[in-house]
Structure 1
């Protein structure tokens, strides 16, 4: 499994915002330049993160982008899923009926356990933790 480039860019943007002072805003151009994100990609990402309630956006001279909650309350999983949707290592982990072998498939428990561990790890990892590593 590999996250999309768009999710990677979203994580970079959230890291940038997590490093700001509380309630400080950043221009999208600053984020794009600092985190090496193409501005055309960033506009769509900012929109998706805003819809997911992870960031606030405001227009105008004093506008910009800021976190909707403290970095300690936003998980890596939330950002990835806001962009890519639910994580799935294999189709059968989300849809048991997707496997032609059904309940007799010896690999499904392996995939499900691995996915559970990944989801747990990403849900327990906040941006405050990442910037303090």
Structure 2
């Protein structure tokens, strides 16, 4: 299983917001510079995060983006769902009656993973790594 590059960026962007405490409005270009991605691509990701009510945007000179939800409530699942959607990772194409044993195993595994991602909060990871960044190149 593989998540898209957009999900990778979205998790890092949200970790950046959490690390900044999410209170101040951050404008597009400084975020793009920090993340080292194009402002066009970043804008598309931020739009999806706004639609998912994870962040909010404010227009104007002092505008920008900030967290909408409290930082201690944002889970990995919230961010992943904002970018990837909520479809199943595995669907059996060999049975049309919904009785595929292989699909049942895959769905059970997916449910375990989703439970973990829902319980794991971004702020926990950010707090554990406050001395450095959440990732090292």
TM-score (norm 2): 0.84
3-state DSSP of counterpart to 2:101: coil
Structure with greater proportional helix content:
1
Q: List, as ranges, runs of 4+ consecutive aligned residues in structure 1 with deviation greater than 3 Å.
A: 101-104
In structure 1, C-alpha distance between the alignment counterparts of 2:67 and 2:4, rounded to whole Å:
22
Pick closer, same or farther for the CA change 1:47–1:104 going to 2, 3 Å. closer
Pick closer, same or farther for the CA change 1:23–1:5 going to 2, 3 Å. same
The answer to whether residue 113 in structure 2 is matched with residue 118 in structure 1 is yes
The answer to whether residue 17 in structure 2 is matched with residue 17 in structure 1 is yes
Q: Is the 8 A contact 2:75 2:117 kept in 1?
A: yes
Structure 2: stretches of 5+ with no match in the other structure: 129-137
TM-score (norm 1): 0.86
> What RMSD over aligned residues (CA atoms) do the two structures have, in Å?
1.7
Q: CA deviation at 1:89?
A: 2.5
Match of 2:32 in 1: 32
Q: CA deviation at 1:22?
A: 4.6
Task: Say how many residue pairs are matched.
Answer: 128
Q: CA deviation at 1:120?
A: 0.5
